[in-house]
C-alpha cells in the first residue's frame, strides 16, 4: 500500500483511506494503538435548546447510526487492530456513552483484557446547553491488552512522579485542547497533546511504534515523535492529513519541538513548590519545628498572590543553593499570618517585619529530589519563588 506521506526521518507515516481497508494492508506490527474513532454524535440537523436552535455537526464521518451499525463498525476495525498489535501490545480507545460501551463489548468479545477505564475530566469544559441534565465534562478511555495471559508494559513509577509522588488514579484532570495547539489549522474533535503525552509515556517505551487508525489532525503522531516513538496514522480526509503534515513539519525545527514538548508536559493543575532560601541555622530550626516563614508584604509584591499559590503543596528549603530539602505541606494552598511575637514564642528571632506568612510541614519526612535546578539562577537568590513540582521530582 502506498503511503500518503512519509517524513524525512521515516518516523511519521500517513495512509489515506478507509481504516478498515488500510488496516488490512499495513504490514507493520505495532506496540500500541491509540484510536479516537467516530463517536457518532452528529445529527446533521438543528435542535431547539432553551429557545435557541443549535447545530451539532462534526462531519459526515460522525453521523449518528443505529446501535447495530455502530457495533458492526467497531467490531470490524477492532478485529483488524488485533491483527496488527504485537502479542504484548495494548490498545487505547476514546469515547463517550454513544460509542464506548460498544467498544468495550467488542474488545472483550475479541479476546482483549480490559485494564482500565480512564475518566478524562475536561477541567475547562463549557456548560452543557440543555438544562435537562447535568453538565457533560468527561470522556472515557478504554485501555486493554491483547492477551489475557501475556503481560503488558506500564510505567507506574513515571506516572507516580507525574502525579506528584502518589499513585496515579483513573480520573485524569486535563484541560481541553489549547489555542497553541491549533495555530496551524483546526479539526472539530482534536485531542489535547497533554492527554496523548500521558497515554504514550504510561504504555510505551522509546523507539516503539504507535498506530492511530483515525488520526485526524495527527495529535497522536506529534506526541509520539516528540517522545521518541514512531507513528503510523490513517485518515480518510485529505484536509485532516494535510493539517497533520503541517504539524509534523513544525516540529522538524528543533526549537519548535522543544517549545511544544515543554508545553505538552506542563500540567496547568500541577502542584507547586515554594522555594525558600534561609541561612543554615535558621533552615535547620525551620525543619526542626516544621515551620517555614516568610515576610508578609514584600515591597516587590507577595508570592501569595502569584497564580498557582492555590496549588502550593511543597516547600523546598536551601542555603545559597545548597543542602536542598523538599517537604510536603500539611495542607495544600493554606497558610497562616503570624505576628513577630508568635514566632518568637516558637524560638525564632525574626528581624525584619511585624507580620509573617507561616507554612506548616512535617520536617521528619523529606521527599526525594530527582533533579535539582540551579537555585542561584535569577537576579535575587533570596526572593521566594514558586516552582512546579516537576522541576524537582517530575520527568525531564
Ligand atoms: C475523532 S476524529 C480523530 C481526531 C484526532 N484524535 C485528533 O486529535 O485530531 C476521527 C477521525 O477519523 C476519521 N475517520 C472517520 N471514519 C473513518 C474511516 N472509516 N476511515 C478512516 N478515517 C476515518 C475522520 O476523518 C476524523 O478525522
Q: How far is the CA of 330 from the centre of ligand 1 (A)?
A: 46
Cβ-based burial of 101 (10 A; exposed 0-12, middle 13-18, buried ≥19): middle
pLDDT number for residue 101: 97
Euclidean distance between CA atoms 85 and 230, whole angstroms: 14
Coil/strand/helix, residue 54: strand
Q: How far is the CA of 18 from the centre of ligand 1 (A)?
A: 10
We find that the CATH architecture of domain 272-391 is Roll (3.10)
End-to-end CA, the chain: 38
Mutate to test the pocket of ligand 1, among 221, 236, 238 (most ligand atoms within 8 A of CB): 236
Task: Yes or no: say if 211 and 13 are a contact pair by the CB < 8 Å rule.
Answer: no
Ligand 1 atom with the smallest distance to the CA of 244 is 9
Residue ranges of the chain assigned to CATH 3.10.590:
272-391
Closest CA to 139 of 87, 190, 74: 190
Cβ of 19 less than 6 Å from ligand 1: yes
- Is the confidence at residue 203, as pLDDT, over 80? yes
pLDDT number for residue 48: 65
Percentage of the chain exceeding pLDDT 90 = 68
pTM: 0.81
110, 114, 212, 321 from 107: Cα distances, Å: 5, 8, 16, 53
Ligand 1 atom with the smallest distance to the CA of 39 is 1
Tell me the CATH class for 5-265: alpha beta
Euclidean distance between CA atoms 358 and 350, whole angstroms: 12
Strand ranges of the sheet holding 272-277, from the earlier edge strand across to the other edge: 322-328, 312-319, 272-277, 385-388
CA dihedral sign, ordered 240, 40, 92, 83 = negative
**DSSP, res 197:** H
Cβ of 237 less than 6 Å from ligand 1: yes
Cβ of 197 less than 6 Å from ligand 1: no
Euclidean distance between CA atoms 154 and 203, whole angstroms: 5
Residue ranges of the chain assigned to CATH 3.40.50.150:
5-265
**H helices within the chain, ranges in order?**
19-25, 67-84, 100-110, 156-162, 193-203, 219-226, 238-250, 254-265, 280-289, 340-345
Ligand 1 atom with the smallest distance to the CA of 17 is 21
CA dihedral sign, ordered 376, 378, 380, 382 = negative
Q: Work out the number of other CB atoms within 10 angstroms of the CB of residue 163.
A: 18
Q: How confident is the model at residue 47 (pLDDT cuts 50, 70, 90)?
A: low
Q: Work out the number of other CB atoms within 10 angstroms of the CB of residue 68.
A: 8
Q: How confident is the model at residue 233 (pLDDT cuts 50, 70, 90)?
A: very high
Euclidean distance between CA atoms 247 and 63, whole angstroms: 27
Mean of the pLDDT values across residues 345-363? Answer: 91
Task: Yes or no: say if 83 and 25 are a contact pair by the CB < 8 Å rule.
Answer: no
Question: Mean pLDDT, the chain, as a whole number?
Answer: 90
61, 93, 241, 245, 253 from 3: Cα distances, Å: 22, 24, 11, 13, 23
Percentage of the chain exceeding pLDDT 70 = 91
Cell numbers found for residue 133: 441534565
Cell numbers found for residue 328: 510536603
Highest mean pLDDT among 43-57, 129-143, 293-307 belongs to 129-143
DSSP code per residue over 273-328? EEEEE--HHHHHHHHHHTEEEEESS-TT--GGGSTTGGGEEEEEEEETTEEEEEEE
pLDDT number for residue 309: 83
Backbone angles phi, psi at 15, to 5 degrees: -120, 140
At 260-319, the pLDDT tens digits run 998 998 877 788 999 988 999 999 999 999 999 988 765 555 666 677 788 899 999 999
Amino acid at each position: 500500500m502506498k503511503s500518503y506521506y512519509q517524513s524525512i526521518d521515516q518516523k511519521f507515516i500517513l495512509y489515506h483511506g478507509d481504516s478498515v481497508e488500510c488496516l488490512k494492508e499495513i504490514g507493520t506490527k505495532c506496540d500500541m494503538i491509540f484510536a479516537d474513532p467516530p463517536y457518532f454524535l452528529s445529527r446533521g440537523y438543528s435542535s431547539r435548546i432553551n429557545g435557541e436552535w443549535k447545530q451539532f455537526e462534526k462531519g459526515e464521518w460522525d453521523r449518528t447510526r443505529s446501535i447495530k451499525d455502530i457495533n458492526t463498525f467497531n467490531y470490524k476495525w477492532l478485529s483488524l487492530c488485533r491483527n496488527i498489535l504485537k502479542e504484548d501490545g495494548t490498545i487505547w480507545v476514546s469515547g463517550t456513552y454513544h460509542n464506548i460501551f460498544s467498544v468495550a463489548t467488542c474488545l472483550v468479545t475479541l479476546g482483549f483484557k480490559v485494564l482500565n477505564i480512564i475518566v478524562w475530566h475536561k477541567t475547562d469544559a463549557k456548560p452543557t446547553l440543555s438544562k435537562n441534565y447535568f453538565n457533560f465534562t468527561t470522556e472515557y478511555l478504554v485501555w486493554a491488552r491483547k492477551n489475557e495471559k501475556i503481560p503488558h508494559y506500564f510505567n507506574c513509577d513515571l506516572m507516580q512522579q507525574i502525579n506528584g509522588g502518589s499513585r496515579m488514579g483513573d480520573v485524569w484532570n486535563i484541560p481541553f485542547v489549547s489555542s497553541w495547539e491549533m495555530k496551524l489549522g483546526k479539526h472539530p474533535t482534536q485531542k489535547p497533546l497533554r492527554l496523548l503525552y500521558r497515554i504514550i509515556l504510561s504504555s510505551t517505551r522509546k523507539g516503539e511504534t504507535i498506530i492511530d487508525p483515525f488520526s485526524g489532525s495527527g495529535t497522536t503522531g506529534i506526541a509520539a515523535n516528540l517522545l521518541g516513538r514512531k507513528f503510523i496514522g490513517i485518515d480518510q480526509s485529505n484536509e485532516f492529513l494535510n493539517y497533520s503534515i503541517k504539524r509534523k513539519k513544525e516540529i522538524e525545527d528543533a526549537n519548535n519541538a522543544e517549545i511544544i514538548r515543554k508545553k505538552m508536559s506542563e500540567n496547568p493543575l500541577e502542584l507547586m513548590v515554594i522555594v525558600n532560601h534561609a541561612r543554615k541555622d535558621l533552615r535547620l530550626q525551620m525543619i526542626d519545628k516544621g515551620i517555614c516563614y516568610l515576610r508578609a508584604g514584600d515591597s516587590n509584591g507577595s508570592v501569595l498572590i502569584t497564580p498557582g499559590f492555590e496549588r502550593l503543596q511543597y516547600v523546598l528549603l536551601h542555603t545559597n543553593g545548597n543542602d536542598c530539602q523538599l517537604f510536603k505541606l500539611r495542607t495544600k494552598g493554606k497558610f497562616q499570618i503570624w505576628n513577630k511575637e508568635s514566632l518568637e514564642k516558637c524560638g525564632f528571632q525574626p528581624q525584619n517585619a511585624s507580620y509573617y506568612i507561616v507554612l506548616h510541614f512535617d520536617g521528619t519526612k523529606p521527599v526525594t529530589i530527582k533533579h535539582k535546578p540551579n537555585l542561584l539562577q535569577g537576579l535575587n537568590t533570596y526572593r521566594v519563588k514558586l516552582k512546579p513540582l516537576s522541576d524537582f521530582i517530575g520527568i525531564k
